[in-house]
Structure 1
Amino acid sequence: MGRTITAVLTTFCFQMAYLLAGYYYTATGNYDIKWTMPHCVLTLKLIGLTIDYYDGGKDQKSLSSEQQKYAIRAVPSLLEVAGFSYFYGAFLVGPQFSMNHYMKLVQGQLTDLPGKIPNSSVPALRRLSLGLVYLVGYTLLSQHITEDYLLTDDYENRSFWFRCTYMLVWGKVVLYKYVACWLVTEGVCILTGLGFHGLDELGRAKWDTCANMKVWLFETDPRFTGTIASFNINTNAWVARYFFKRLKFLGNKQLSQGLSLLFLSLWHGLHSGYLVCFQMEFLIVIVERQAASLIQDSPALSSLASVRVLQPLYYLVQQTIHWLFMGYSMTAFCLFTWDKWLKVYKAVYFLGHVFFLSLLFTLPYVRKAMVPRKEKLKKME
């Protein structure tokens, strides 16, 4: 098909149809480790490869700087495509990387010691060690804090505050298995040189190209957008580069974001829980941005937010809300089927939906009341 939009659309449809057919015929109601897990990683790789090849046939000036960086000018060989697709450090759980970056590794360019193998053992072992800390933590905690307990009568009969607290703690713990996997695989990528990201201003090597986690941001940021920015970074970057930005022609950022999250939901699987989880993410991000904008533009709220003695209290409240509703969203993601996540949501009275939908509809009225007209006029200018 060559460097045509037909090739892009055909590849996208074929890869997604093959993956979704795999989900349909093999999925159960539990967390399954089978061929579809590495294949979902491969699906994104091959779609991205075709789009980069398509961009390679365009005039350089018509491409953005990002597209120019990833565009493939030459036709890759079958061996190069196979190496890119099945690179042992990333084919199981990621991270995503481009063909051009992989070819730099093959050509020996990704090293802090020109002409020699990279001096990357120490940074690789650091990520491995951190990954093992999370792995041990998850192994120990997951024996006592499980999603199965959410479905028990004992959980349902406990007090409302216990149910919410358990959901908060469980939501934090369940993410550690992903953190552990990504940190270990990042260590592999660093060791081979694939993680090399040039030198900083002091001449020190940076090894974060394949980083799928910003651990400090993940653990400390009290905002949902902070967690999104720190979690599964390369997959999010892939969706932004090959899906979200390609929907610019729609002329609506929120619509593009919603369609991107819908794509991510289908990419994860056909269970209704994935759709509910990403729908909650979409809702939460919109409300969080509305709230942040309101606090910034309202003199009274801005002044209250800047009181230093109250900062620890604000942080505690934010983190509690953050991780409670992260757990609420992950409930649907991890329980998969509607009968399971619906049972748990009923037990907490659909708290997440009620809380954020209420804010979505009330914050515009609060803004009208608390933001002076001159501030509104400034925004319009």
Structure 2
Amino acid sequence: MKYRTYYDMLHEPDTNDIETVKPMLRRLSLIPIIALGYFTMSHFFSIKYVKTDDFYEKPLWFRLFYMMPIFCVFRWRLYIAWILAECSCMMGAYGAYPASSLPKCGQGPSDLKALHKVKSFPKKTASYNFEAVNNLYIWGCEMAPTTKEALRSWNKSVQYWLANIVYRRVPMKSFRVFLTMAVSAYWHGVDPGYYMSFLTVPPILMAERVMIAAFRDEEPTIKQKLFDHVCWFFRMRGFDYNCMGFLLLSWHDTVRYWSSIYFIGHITIIVFFIVGTIFRPPRKKTND
């Protein structure tokens, strides 16, 4: 988050006039459904089981399947934590800005002229929202067809920080994603699993980009919709695959699991990159 949002919370007068309870309750209304799914799934599926010898005696289909509910448990737990964090901000009017100022997560108001204009009127007459602290867009996390779109919906305040403090400051564009993912891994810790997972993201984005260029229509067609559905399926499987390294943490446990499913995530990346490169249409020449 920008320091500005914290400063505004401390120095903004008449914050009691800003409606906080209703927005908080609307956000909290999502938790019972998510919590039900989390507690149900976590009862049957545990990352600890993946570290046992018994797990690796199961058939291949079971080992492949198991990463899907594990990622469900992982992300639903984070959904609950992030929503509760958002609600705590709302109760203190932290991140409350006039809707007309077009606030964005991490940044705060993006239209400062509209912000100053609204400040000349009583707060009771203005419409406020908490987009500045809205850290999670669940629909995007669950249904976005591409990895790039899904990442923008996930932990948005950290994504904002990484984009502005790391990504845009790397002078060589070809290294931006790699270095950003490396910093993100270090942000989480020093366990090898973090780096193995996060540094798999740049190749995923590369393969995804060439496949989109090769097969996705720019105009809305049946082919485009079919491609988006297929892309969503593989995007989710990529998240499942990387989640295992994120949770297993150690080099041994991560390699043990990935090798038990024949490094299918990495193999898929290579196949998609080759196929996308072969079928990618030639770039149109521009006339000077």
Q: Who is 1:194 aligned against?
A: 94
Unmatched runs of 5 consecutive residues or more in structure 2: 102-124
Question: What is the percent sequence identity of the aligned residues?
Answer: 22
2:29 counterpart of 1:129: yes
Task: Tell me: CA distance 1:266–1:323, structure 2 relative to 1, closer, same or farther (3 Å).
Answer: same
Please give the alpha-carbon distance, in whole angstroms, between the structure 2 residues aligned to 1:160 and 1:349.
10
Q: Who is 2:206 aligned against?
A: 286
Which residue identity does 2:3 align to in structure 1? M
Q: Who is 1:307 aligned against?
A: 222
The 8 Å contact of residues 215 and 227 in structure 2, kept in 1 or not, is answered as no
How do residues 271-350 of structure 1 correspond to structure 2 at under 5 angstroms?
271-296=191-216, 302=217, 306-307=221-222, 311=225, 314-350=227-263
Q: Who is 1:204 aligned against?
A: 127
Please give the alpha-carbon distance, in whole angstroms, between the structure 2 residues aligned to 1:263 and 1:115.
36
The 8 Å contact of residues 132 and 180 in structure 1, kept in 2 or not, is answered as no
The 8 Å contact of residues 28 and 84 in structure 2, kept in 1 or not, is answered as yes
Q: CA RMSD in A?
A: 2.6
TM-score normalised by L of structure 2? 0.82
Alignment counterpart, residue 62 of structure 2, candidates 162, 176, 184: 162
Which residue identity does 1:221 align to in structure 2? A
Q: Who is 2:284 aligned against?
A: 376
Please give the alpha-carbon distance, in whole angstroms, between the structure 2 residues aligned to 1:348 and 1:304.
37
Offset from partner CA, 1:310-338 (integer Å, 9 cap, x none): 94x54553333222221110100101001
Task: Tell me: CA distance 1:203–1:377, structure 2 relative to 1, closer, same or farther (3 Å).
Answer: farther
Q: Who is 1:65 aligned against?
A: none
Task: Tell me: CA distance 1:203–1:119, structure 2 relative to 1, closer, same or farther (3 Å).
Answer: closer
Deviation at 1:304, TM superposition (A): 11
Please give the alpha-carbon distance, in whole angstroms, between the structure 1 residues aligned to 2:220 and 2:210.
15
Who wins on radius of gyration, i.e. which is larger?
1
How do residues 216-255 of structure 1 correspond to structure 2 at under 5 angstroms?
216-247=139-170, 250=171, 252-255=172-175
Q: Who is 1:43 aligned against?
A: none
The 8 Å contact of residues 274 and 333 in structure 1, kept in 2 or not, is answered as yes
Task: Tell me: CA distance 1:316–1:157, structure 2 relative to 1, closer, same or farther (3 Å).
Answer: farther
Offset from partner CA, 1:336-371 (integer Å, 9 cap, x none): 00111111111100001111023224422222xxx2
The 8 Å contact of residues 272 and 336 in structure 1, kept in 2 or not, is answered as yes
Task: Tell me: CA distance 1:203–1:149, structure 2 relative to 1, closer, same or farther (3 Å).
Answer: same
2:28 counterpart of 1:140: no
Deviation at 1:194, TM superposition (A): 1.0
Please give the alpha-carbon distance, in whole angstroms, between the structure 1 residues aligned to 2:220 and 2:6.
46
Unmatched runs of 5 consecutive residues or more in structure 1: 1-96, 297-301
Offset from partner CA, 1:174-220 (integer Å, 9 cap, x none): 11111110011101111211121322499632211111101121122
Please give the alpha-carbon distance, in whole angstroms, between the structure 1 residues aligned to 2:39 and 2:15.
41
Q: Who is 2:268 aligned against?
A: 355
Deviation at 1:377, TM superposition (A): 1.8
Q: Who is 1:299 aligned against?
A: none
The 8 Å contact of residues 168 and 325 in structure 1, kept in 2 or not, is answered as no
Deviation at 1:173, TM superposition (A): 2.4
Q: Who is 1:103 aligned against?
A: 7
The 8 Å contact of residues 164 and 324 in structure 1, kept in 2 or not, is answered as no
TM-score normalised by L of structure 1? 0.64
Task: Tell me: CA distance 1:174–1:116, structure 2 relative to 1, closer, same or farther (3 Å).
Answer: closer
Alignment counterpart, residue 259 of structure 1, candidates 161, 173, 179: 179
How do residues 46-61 of structure 1 correspond to structure 2 at under 5 angstroms?
none
Please give the alpha-carbon distance, in whole angstroms, between the structure 2 residues aligned to 1:315 and 1:303.
12
Task: Tell me: CA distance 1:272–1:163, structure 2 relative to 1, closer, same or farther (3 Å).
Answer: same
Offset from partner CA, 1:101-146 (integer Å, 9 cap, x none): 111111125xxxx564421101112222323432342122112111
Please give the alpha-carbon distance, in whole angstroms, between the structure 2 residues aligned to 1:141 and 1:227.
22
How do residues 78-97 of structure 1 correspond to structure 2 at under 5 angstroms?
97=1
Please give the alpha-carbon distance, in whole angstroms, between the structure 2 residues aligned to 1:212 and 1:270.
24
Please give the alpha-carbon distance, in whole angstroms, between the structure 2 residues aligned to 1:157 and 1:222.
34
Deviation at 1:290, TM superposition (A): 1.7
